[in-house]
Amino acid sequence: MNLFEEGLKFNLSELVELLIQVGLKVLVLLIGYAIVKPLGRKAIETAINRLSTQRKLSEGRNKTLQKLSVNIFSYALIFILVMMLFSAVGIEIGPLLAGAGIVGLAIGFGAQGLVSDIVTGFFILLERQVEVDDYVTAGGYDGIVEEVGIRTTRIRSFDGTLNFIPNRNISGVANHSRGNMRALVDIGIGYDENIDEAMAVLQKVALDFQQDERFKEGPDVLGVQSLGSSDVVIRILGKTENMEQWAVERDLRKAMKEALDAAGIEIPFPHQVYVHKNEE
Amino acid sequence: MNLFEEGLKFNLSELVELLIQVGLKVLVLLIGYAIVKPLGRKAIETAINRLSTQRKLSEGRNKTLQKLSVNIFSYALIFILVMMLFSAVGIEIGPLLAGAGIVGLAIGFGAQGLVSDIVTGFFILLERQVEVDDYVTAGGYDGIVEEVGIRTTRIRSFDGTLNFIPNRNISGVANHSRGNMRALVDIGIGYDENIDEAMAVLQKVALDFQQDERFKEGPDVLGVQSLGSSDVVIRILGKTENMEQWAVERDLRKAMKEALDAAGIEIPFPHQVYVHKNEE
Amino acid sequence: MNLFEEGLKFNLSELVELLIQVGLKVLVLLIGYAIVKPLGRKAIETAINRLSTQRKLSEGRNKTLQKLSVNIFSYALIFILVMMLFSAVGIEIGPLLAGAGIVGLAIGFGAQGLVSDIVTGFFILLERQVEVDDYVTAGGYDGIVEEVGIRTTRIRSFDGTLNFIPNRNISGVANHSRGNMRALVDIGIGYDENIDEAMAVLQKVALDFQQDERFKEGPDVLGVQSLGSSDVVIRILGKTENMEQWAVERDLRKAMKEALDAAGIEIPFPHQVYVHKNEE
Amino acid sequence: MNLFEEGLKFNLSELVELLIQVGLKVLVLLIGYAIVKPLGRKAIETAINRLSTQRKLSEGRNKTLQKLSVNIFSYALIFILVMMLFSAVGIEIGPLLAGAGIVGLAIGFGAQGLVSDIVTGFFILLERQVEVDDYVTAGGYDGIVEEVGIRTTRIRSFDGTLNFIPNRNISGVANHSRGNMRALVDIGIGYDENIDEAMAVLQKVALDFQQDERFKEGPDVLGVQSLGSSDVVIRILGKTENMEQWAVERDLRKAMKEALDAAGIEIPFPHQVYVHKNEE
Amino acid sequence: MNLFEEGLKFNLSELVELLIQVGLKVLVLLIGYAIVKPLGRKAIETAINRLSTQRKLSEGRNKTLQKLSVNIFSYALIFILVMMLFSAVGIEIGPLLAGAGIVGLAIGFGAQGLVSDIVTGFFILLERQVEVDDYVTAGGYDGIVEEVGIRTTRIRSFDGTLNFIPNRNISGVANHSRGNMRALVDIGIGYDENIDEAMAVLQKVALDFQQDERFKEGPDVLGVQSLGSSDVVIRILGKTENMEQWAVERDLRKAMKEALDAAGIEIPFPHQVYVHKNEE
Amino acid sequence: MNLFEEGLKFNLSELVELLIQVGLKVLVLLIGYAIVKPLGRKAIETAINRLSTQRKLSEGRNKTLQKLSVNIFSYALIFILVMMLFSAVGIEIGPLLAGAGIVGLAIGFGAQGLVSDIVTGFFILLERQVEVDDYVTAGGYDGIVEEVGIRTTRIRSFDGTLNFIPNRNISGVANHSRGNMRALVDIGIGYDENIDEAMAVLQKVALDFQQDERFKEGPDVLGVQSLGSSDVVIRILGKTENMEQWAVERDLRKAMKEALDAAGIEIPFPHQVYVHKNEE
Amino acid sequence: MNLFEEGLKFNLSELVELLIQVGLKVLVLLIGYAIVKPLGRKAIETAINRLSTQRKLSEGRNKTLQKLSVNIFSYALIFILVMMLFSAVGIEIGPLLAGAGIVGLAIGFGAQGLVSDIVTGFFILLERQVEVDDYVTAGGYDGIVEEVGIRTTRIRSFDGTLNFIPNRNISGVANHSRGNMRALVDIGIGYDENIDEAMAVLQKVALDFQQDERFKEGPDVLGVQSLGSSDVVIRILGKTENMEQWAVERDLRKAMKEALDAAGIEIPFPHQVYVHKNEE
C-alpha cells in the first residue's frame, strides 16, 4: 500500500521500474482525463441543445444552462483527477477525502437550500415556467418578473416593491401571462325584480361589449349564480386579451350598473326584516 | 491489492499471465454486461407492458414509462460496469467512488425534491390519476389539466392562469372528471310558511327537471336541511352529467325562485326582533 | 483477497484445488438459498394466515398481503445471493455495492414517501381500517371508499369527485360506517316560553319517532343545552341506523318545528333591544 | 481472512486442526447464545414485571408488553448469532450485511413512522395514559377509547364514527376520565339589575344543587366574570362526578333561568343605543 | 487478525505465550473498567450535586437526575467493555457491531422522539421550569402540574381533564406560579361623560382596594387606554398575590360598576347613528 | 502501515533511508501547501472581484466577502495539511478523524442553522438584496435595515423596535426602496350619483396632483373598481417617488373628499333597507 | 496491526525496542497535547476577547463565552488524546469508537435541539440581541427579560407569568428597548366636519405635548390616514423616550378628545343609513 518502503527493499534498478510504473499510471490518468473532459462537455452541450430546440429556448438561456452544467461537470472531474493522481504517486488520500467529506457534510446540512435553489432554478429556466415581463404569482409574491436567476427570481409587485425570492420557495408558479384571461362580473338584483327581464338588459350590454376587440370570447350572461340574503346574483363571463381583464371588468361594471339604472331595475342594499315588539 | 508492483517481482512470463488474468476479468465483466443489459431491459419493458394492459394505459403513456425506467436502469448499469472495469485493471476506485459519493450526497440533499417529483409523477401517470383535459384540484390549484409531465403538471385555472405544479406538491388529487356530479341547491323559506306546501311546489319543479337529459338521477327535494336564524332551509339534490352541474344549478335556482314567487311562498330576508326601550 | 493472482503462484494441481473450493462455496450458497427461500416463504405465509384468521380478513385481502410480503422477501434474498456468489468466485463486489448504495440513497431521499405509502397501506389493509363502500374521512377528503390500494386509496366525494390519496397522507381514519350513528337536533325556543312545556311538546314528538325503526335508541329530549343571546336551546338526541342519520335529522327537524308551531311556542328570530337617544 | 485457501497450504492434519478450531468457535457461539437468550429474557420480564407492579398495570397489559419486548430482543439476538456463525465458518458476511443495511435503510426512511407508532404505543400502555372506555381527546379526535393497540388507538366519537389513530399522531393525550370534572355556567343579567340581589338568587339555586349527589364540590357563585357589551356576566362553578358534568350543567342552566325569571331579574337581549339623525 | 490460526503455526509453548497475552489484555480491560466506572460515577454525581446546590434542587430531584445520568453512563460503558473483550479474545465483532448499528439506526429513526423527551425532561427538571402544583401553560395545555416525569409531564386542566404531554412537545413553558400576578380591568364610559370625573371615581375605588392584602401593588387608574367606537376605555392595573388575580378582578369589576352607577356615570351600550332616508 | 515497527527489522542504514523518505513526504506536502494556498487565495479573490464589478458592490462589501471566503478556504486547507503530515510521519489519524467526525456530526445536527445563516447571508450581500437604510419586509419583520450581517440582519420597525433576524429566516425579501412606488386611493360614491360626473370631479383633482413633483406618473382615475354593498368604488392610481407614497395618499384623500363635498357628491355611510313587519 | 503478537516473534531485546517505540509515541502525543492545549486555549480566549471589545460586551458575558468555548475545546481534545493513546499502545479502538459513535448518533437524533439551543444562545449573547431588563418579543412570548442563559431565556410577561423559552425557538428577536419608540394615535372625526379645522385643533394639542420632555420628536398631525365607513381618520405621530410610549399615548388620547369636544368637533359613532320599505 505504501510504495516508498516497499521500493527500498530492492535496489536502484527496481526504483526505476517503480518510477516508470507511477509515471505510466499518471500518464494513463491524464490521458483518460483529456479524453473524458471534452467528451463529457460535448455530451452535455448536445443534450442541452436538443432540449433547447425541443422547448424553443432562447439562445441566451441555452448558453446559461450549458455553462452551468459544464461548470459542475468540470469541477467534479478535476476533483476526481486530483484524488487519483495523489493516490497514484502513493500519497494517502484518506485524510484529504475525509477532510473534504466533513467540510462537505457540514456545509451540506446548511447549504442544501442553495443546491435546492439551483435545481429548481434550472427547471424553471428549462421548462420556461416564467419569462421576464410575465405577470406571475410564486412563493407568495405577486407581480411582474424582472429577472429569473439560477438562485433567485426577482418580482416587481404592483405597489412598486422589488421582491427577491429564493427559487426553492417557488413550490408552484401561477403564470398569468400565458393566454387569454377571463373577465367575470357578478351583479346582484332585487328579489322583486323579474329575472328574465334583468338578464335581457344585461345580455344587451354584453352584446355591445362583444364588439370590443379586447374581448376574445363573450361576454355572456350565464344565469343565477346564487340566491343571496338580499339579492339574486347574476354572473357575466367573457374571455379577454391578456392583462386587459381588469380594465374590461371596470368598464363592464360601469356599463351594467348604468343599464340597470336606466331600465329601473334595483341593485339592492342589504335588507333586513324588522319585527317590532315592546319591552316586556 | 495493487497488481503493478506485485507483478514486478516476477519476470515477463508472469507479466503475461497477469495480463491474461486481467483480460479474462474484463472479458467476464463485458460478457456479464452484455447479458444483463438486454435481460433487464426486457424485464422492465415486460413489467410495464403488463401494468399498461392491466390499467388500460394509452400506447403513448406506456412508451413514456418504459423509456424512463430503461434509462434509469441503463445509467445505473453503466456506472457499475465502469467501476468494476477500473477495479479489474487495478486502478483504485476508492477516490472516484468517494468523489461521486460526496457530490451525490451534496446534490441528494438539495435534489431530493427532484427525485420526489419523478417518483410521484411516475405513479400519477401509471395510476391514471389525471389525464389531459380533466378538471382537477391538486397541490392547491384548481383547473383543467394541460399537461402531465414526469416532473411538473400544468393546470389552466378558470381565470386563464397557467399553473406549473411540481409533482411532489401533489399530495392528493381531487379529480372532478370521473363520473357524474351532484347538483345541490339549498333554498330558504319563511318560518310562517307551510313546509309541506313549499316542498310540494319545489318537488314539482324538480319533476320537470327530471326530464332534462343533463340529469342522470333526480333532482329531488330531500327535506328540512336546517332551521336557520330567519328561514327554514330546504335541500334539493340530483346527479348530473359531468361538468354540467354548474349550469344545471343555475337553472334550478332560477326555476325554484320563480315557482315559489308564483305560489306566494316567501324567501325571507334576514329577520330581527326589535325590543324598544327608552333611554334611562 | 484476490484469488486469481494467489492461484498463479502454485501449479495446476493447486488450481484444481482452488476450483473445488470455489465450487464448494457456490454449492453451499445455492443449497442455503434453496433451503432458506421456501422456509422464509412458508413462515411469511403462515404468519399472515394467522393474522388473517385473527382479524377475519377476506380471502382476497389475505392473498394480497401474502403476495406483497413474499415479493419483498424474494427480492432481498436474490440480491444477497448474487452478492455472495460474486464474492465467492472472487469478483470484488465493493463497486457494485457502492453503486447500488449511492443509487439507493439518492432514491431513498426522494422515494421515502413511496415506502411510507406502502407501509401505511399494509396496515390499513391488515387492520381493516377502511373497506370498499365505507363512508370515511381520511387525509382531508371525505366520501365513499372506491378502492383501497397498497399505495393509494380512492374516495368518491359526495359531489361526485374521485379523490386519489397517497396512503402516507392518511394520518388517521374516521370511519363513519362502523356501527350506529347519533342524530342530534338543537332547537331554540323564546326566552318567554315555559321551558317545561316546550320540553314536553318535544318529548312527545320524540316518543313518536321511537317507533321509527331507523332509530336504534331514543330520540330523547336532553334539556337546556345553552342560553343563547335570543333563544333557549334545547337538545334532542338519539341513535340511528348507519347512514340514516341525515334523513332522520331532517324528519325530526320538520316534525318538531310543526309541533312547536301547533303548541304556539315561538322559535325566535334574533332579538335586539333598541335604546333611543336623540342626536346631541 | 479466508480460511479455505490458507488451509490448503498445509496437509490434512492441519485441516483437521482447522475444523476443530471452527467447530470450537461455533460451539462457543452456540453456548453463548444458549446462555444469553434466557438471561436476557428473564431480565426483560423481571424489568417489566417490576414496572407493572409499580404502575399497577393489569395482568393482560403486563403480558402484552413482555411479549413485545422479548420478541424484539429475540429477533436481534438471532440476527447477530447468524452473522457470527457465518463469519466463524469463513463465509464473508460483508455482502449480506450490506444487503440488509441497504434494505434496512431504505425501509427505515419510509417506516420510521411505524417504529414511532410502536415506541409511542409502548409508553401509552406502560404509563396508562388511556384505558379502554376512557373519554379522551388525542391526535385531533375526541371520544370513547375502544382499543389501545401497539400501533393504533381506536376512538369512538360522540356521533358514532370509529376513528383509527396511528399512535405517533398522539402528541399529547387529554384524558377526561381521570377524576371529578368541573361544571361551569355563565349567566348574564341586565346592567340595570342589582348585582348583589342577582347573586343571592343564584346562590340559593346553587345551595339546592349542593344536595345533588352528582356534585362533589359546590356549586357556588363566583362573582362578576366580565362586563359584557349588554350584560353583566356572573359565573357559577362546581365539581361533579366524572361524565355527569353535561347533565348537571343543563339542569343548572334551567334552574337558574327559572329562578331569575321568578325573581324578576332580566337576562338581557343584545342592546344597542340608536342615535337619530336626519338625512343631510 | 485471527489469532487461532496464527497460533497453530507455532507449537504449544507459543500457544501459552498467546494465552498469556490474551489474558493480559482482558486483565487490562477489566482493571480499566474497574477504575473508570467508579470514577465516572463519582464525577457525574459530583457534577449533579454541584448543579443541585447551585439551583437549589430538592433532594428527591437531585437523586432522580443522578440515577438517570449514572444509568446511561453504565450502559454505555458495559457495551464498550463487552465489545473490547470480544475483540481481545479474537472474536470478530464486526457483525455484532453492524447488527447493533442497524437495529440502533432503525430504532433511532423512530425513537428520536423518545430521546428528545428525555433530554428536554432532564432540563425541565434541572432548571426547575415547572414544579408539581405550579399553574403552567405548556405544549398547548393549561393547568396545574400533577407530575413532572423524565418522559411525560401531567397537567390537570381547569375542567378536570388530566393531560399527558410528551416533554418534547413542551417548546416553551409559561409558568404562572412564579411571583405576583397583574390584575387588569378595562372599563368603558360614555363619550359624553367627563373623563377626569370618571377617573376620580374609579381611583377612589382603587384606593379602597389598596388596603386589600391580596394586592401587593396598586391598583391604580392608568388613563384612557383607547377611544372605542362607542365608549372611552379606562384601564385599572395592580399587582396581586399569585393565583388571587381572578378573584380580585371579579371584585374590582363589581365595585367599579357600582361606583360608576352611584356617580351617575354611564357604561354605554354599543351606539349607532341612524340616518333616515326614504325608499327611492 | 506502521513504519516504526517495520523499520526496526532492518538496521540503522535502513532507518536513515526511512527518515529520508518521511522527510521527503513532509517536504512535498509543505511545498504543495505553499503552492496551493496563495493560488487558491488568489483564485477566490479574483472570482469575488469579478463578481463585485459585475454587480457593482461597494469596496467594503467586496472586502467582507473576500475575507469570509479566504478564511473558510484557509481553515479547510490547514486541517487537511495537518492530517496529511500526521499520516506521513506514521501516526494513525483514524482516531483523530473519527473524533473530529463525531464532534462535527453532533454539532452539524444542531448547527445547520448557523451554516444556513451564513450561506443565505453571503447571497444577500452578494446579490445586494438589502442595503443599509432600505425599507424592507423580510422574515416577518418590516422596517428600515440598520445592519446586514453575515449571520443576522437588523431591522428597525416603524414603532422603534430593533429586530434581529437570523438570515436563514429570510426566505424572501420584499425591498420597498428599489424604484418608484404606487399611490392608490379607493373612494366610494353613492349608488344614486352619476358615475361620469364623479369621475370627472376626481380626475380634475388628479390633474392638479400631476403637477406635484412627488408624482412620477399620474395620478389618474381608473374607473369602477367594484360595486360595493352601499357604494360604487372608484380607484385612483399614480406613481410617486420612493417613500413619498404615504404622504401623497394622505393628501390625495383629503383633496378628493373635499372636491366631492364641494361638488355635492355623496360618500355614503353603510346602507340597509328596513322591511317592517309587526309581531305575529 | 497488533503489536503484542508480532513482538513475540522476536526475543526480549526486540521487546525492549518495542517498548521504547511505544513509549516514544506516547511521549510525542503527550507533548503534542501539552503544546496544543494552552495554544488552543489562548487562541480561543484571544478571539473572544477581540470580539468582546469590538462588540463592547460586559466583562461577565466575556467570561461566560470564554468558559463555554474553552470547555468544548478541552473535551474534544481529551477525547482525541485518549483515542490516540489507546491506539499507540496497541489496543484496538474500533469498538470504542463505534460504541461512542452509535451512542452519539442515537443521542444526536434526539439532542439536536440541545446543540441548537447552545449555538443560538451563544450568538444571542455574543451579538447582544437581548440584555437582562430589555422588553422583547421572542419565540412567541413578550415581556421583560429576566435571564439570558446558554440554553434557555427567561421572560417575565406583563401579567406576571415567567416564561422559559429554549433558545432554538427564538427565531428572531424584536427588542423594544433599543432607542426611542413611536407614539401613534388615530382619531376619527365626522364626515361633516371641516378637516382643516380639526387638524388645526389637533396640531395645537400636539404643540403643547412637544414641550413634554418624554417626547423626543413631535408629536405632529400627519393628515388623513383613511376614509373610514363612518369617520375621517386623522393620524398623530411622535417619538418618545423608551417605555414611555404607552403613558404618552394615553395622555395624548385624553387631551385630543377633550380638545375636539371643546371645539365642537364630533368623534362619530358608527353610522348607518336606513332605507324604509314596507312589507310586501
For the segment E51-82, what is each residue's pLDDT rounded down to a tens digit? 778 777 777 777 777 887 787 778 777 777 77
CA A104, distance to chain mean position in Å, is 28
Q: Which residues of B touch D269 (CB under 8 A)?
A: 275
Low-confidence ranges of chain D (pLDDT < 50): 1-10, 280
> Quick check: G89 pLDDT over 60?
yes
Q: Which amino acid is at D180?
A: N
Separation in Å, CA of B220 to nearest CA in chain A? 19
Q: Taking CB atoms and an 8 Å cut-off, how many pairs form between chains A and G?
A: 4
> Closest residue of B to F273, CA-based?
B269
Q: Which chains touch F (3 or more CB pairs under 8 A)?
A: A, B, E, G
E89 confidence band (pLDDT: 50, 70, 90): low
**Residue A269 near chain B (CB below 8 Å):** no
Q: Which residues of G touch E105 (CB under 8 A)?
A: 105
Determine the pLDDT at residue G103: 57
Q: Which chains touch D (3 or more CB pairs under 8 A)?
A: B, C, E, G
C213-219 contacts, C-beta under 8 A, 24 or more apart: C214/C240, C214/C241, C214/C244, C214/C247, C214/C248, C215/C183, C215/C239, C215/C240, C215/C248, C216/C180, C216/C240, C216/C241, C217/C180, C219/C183, C219/C185, C219/C252
> Closest residue of G to E77, CA-based?
G99
The C-alpha cell at A98 is: 475525509
Q: Which amino acid is at G182?
A: R
Q: Do B160 and A181 touch (CB under 8 A)?
A: yes
Give the C-alpha distances (Å, rounded to integers) separating E80 from A34, C4, E75. Answer: 50, 39, 9
**Residue A224 near chain F (CB below 8 Å):** no
Q: Do F276 and G272 touch (CB under 8 A)?
A: no
**Interval B105-127: pLDDT, tens:** 555 555 677 878 888 888 888 88
Q: Residue range B61-88: average pLDDT? A: 75
Q: Which residues of A touch F214 (CB under 8 A)?
A: none
Separation in Å, CA of C180 to nearest CA in chain D? 6
Q: Are strands F271-278 and A271-278 parallel, antiparallel or unpaired?
A: parallel
> Quick check: E280 pLDDT over 50?
no
Determine the pLDDT at residue D280: 45
Nearest CA among C173, C65, C76 for reference residue C122: C65
Determine the pLDDT at residue B102: 54
Determine the pLDDT at residue C142: 92
Determine the pLDDT at residue D102: 54
C2 confidence band (pLDDT: 50, 70, 90): very low
Determine the pLDDT at residue G22: 75
Determine the pLDDT at residue F37: 87
Determine the pLDDT at residue A155: 94
Q: Are strands B271-278 and C271-278 parallel, antiparallel or unpaired?
A: parallel
Q: Which residues of D touch G273 (CB under 8 A)?
A: 279
What rounded mean pLDDT belongs to chain F?
81
Q: Which chains touch G (3 or more CB pairs under 8 A)?
A: A, D, E, F
Determine the pLDDT at residue B10: 43
> Quick check: B279 pLDDT over 70?
no
Q: Do A192 and G275 touch (CB under 8 A)?
A: no
The E residues from 84 to 123 touching D (CB cutoff 8 Å) are 91-92, 94-96, 98-100, 102-103, 105-107, 109-111, 113-114
The answer as to CATH 2.30.30.60 being correct for domain B127-175 is yes
Determine the pLDDT at residue E8: 44
Q: Which residues of C touch E273 (CB under 8 A)?
A: 279
ipTM over 0.85: no
In this predicted structure, which of D202-211, F83-92, G89-98 has the lowest mean pLDDT?
A: G89-98
Q: Do B105 and C103 touch (CB under 8 A)?
A: no
> Quick check: G5 pLDDT over 70?
no
Q: Do C187 and B278 touch (CB under 8 A)?
A: no
The whole-angstrom separation of Cα B255 and Cα C160 is 24
Low-confidence ranges of chain A (pLDDT < 50): 1-10, 280
> Quick check: B11 pLDDT over 70?
no
**Residue G247 near chain E (CB below 8 Å):** yes
Q: Residue range G152-160: average pLDDT? A: 92
> What percentage of chain C has pLDDT greater than the value 90?
31
> Quick check: E49 pLDDT over 80?
yes
Q: Do G279 and A269 touch (CB under 8 A)?
A: no
- DSSP bridge pairs for C236: C185, C221
Instruction: List the single residue in A2, A140, A276 with the smallest CB-CB distance to F172.
Output: A140
**Interval E247-269: pLDDT, tens:** 999 999 999 999 999 999 988 88
- Which site among G176, G189, G196, G244 would you substitute to test the F interface, given the most F Cβ atoms closer than 10 Å to its Cβ? G176
Burial class for G191, CB neighbours closer than 10 Å (0-12, 13-18, 19+): buried
Give the C-alpha distances (Å, rounded to integers) separating A23 from A18, C123, C146, F88, G264. Answer: 8, 61, 70, 21, 102
HSE, side-chain direction, 13 A CA sphere, residue C199: 17
**Residue C269 near chain A (CB below 8 Å):** yes
Higher pLDDT, B99 or G45: G45
Q: Which residues of E touch D116 (CB under 8 A)?
A: 109-111, 113
The whole-angstrom separation of Cα D232 and Cα D194 is 10
Q: Which residues of C touch A277 (CB under 8 A)?
A: 271
**Residue A224 near chain B (CB below 8 Å):** yes
In this predicted structure, which of A168-177, C118-127, E32-41, F20-29 has the lowest mean pLDDT?
A: F20-29
Q: Which residues of D touch B275 (CB under 8 A)?
A: 269
Determine the pLDDT at residue E203: 92
The whole-angstrom separation of Cα E186 and Cα E209 is 16
The C-alpha cell at E246 is: 381572578
The C-alpha cell at G59 is: 466583562
Determine the pLDDT at residue E252: 92
Give the C-alpha distances (Å, rounded to integers) separating B263 from B121, B201, B208, B267, G280. Answer: 55, 7, 16, 11, 15
Nearest CA among D151, D155, D150 for reference residue D132: D155
Q: Do G111 and E116 touch (CB under 8 A)?
A: yes
Q: Do F254 and G224 touch (CB under 8 A)?
A: yes
Q: Which residues of A touch F175 (CB under 8 A)?
A: 161-164
**Residue G18 near chain F (CB below 8 Å):** yes
Q: Which residues of F touch A5 (CB under 8 A)?
A: 3, 6, 18, 21
Q: Do D223 and E247 touch (CB under 8 A)?
A: yes
Q: Do C250 and B184 touch (CB under 8 A)?
A: no
Q: Do A269 and G275 touch (CB under 8 A)?
A: yes
> Quick check: G20 pLDDT over 50?
yes
Q: Taking CB atoms and an 8 Å cut-off, how many pairs form between chains E and G?
A: 184
Structure pTM? 0.81
Edge-first strand order for the sheet with C215-227 is C181-189, C232-240, C215-227
CA C246, distance to chain mean position in Å, is 24
Higher pLDDT, A172 or C8: A172
Looking at domain A181-263, its CATH class is: alpha beta
**Residue E279 near chain F (CB below 8 Å):** yes
Domain ranges in chain F are: 13-91, 127-175, 181-263
Residues 6+ apart with CB under 8 A from E179: E242, G156, G160, G162
> Closest residue of F to B274, CA-based?
F279
Q: Residue range F139-167: average pLDDT? A: 91
Determine the pLDDT at residue A252: 92
What rounded mean pLDDT belongs to chain G?
81
The whole-angstrom separation of Cα C153 and Cα C121 is 8
Q: Are strands D181-189 and C215-227 parallel, antiparallel or unpaired?
A: unpaired
> What percentage of chain E has pLDDT greater than the value 90?
30
Determine the pLDDT at residue G65: 78
The whole-angstrom separation of Cα G48 and Cα D27 is 61
- Which site among A191, A216, A231 would you substitute to test the B interface, given the most B Cβ atoms closer than 10 Å to its Cβ? A191
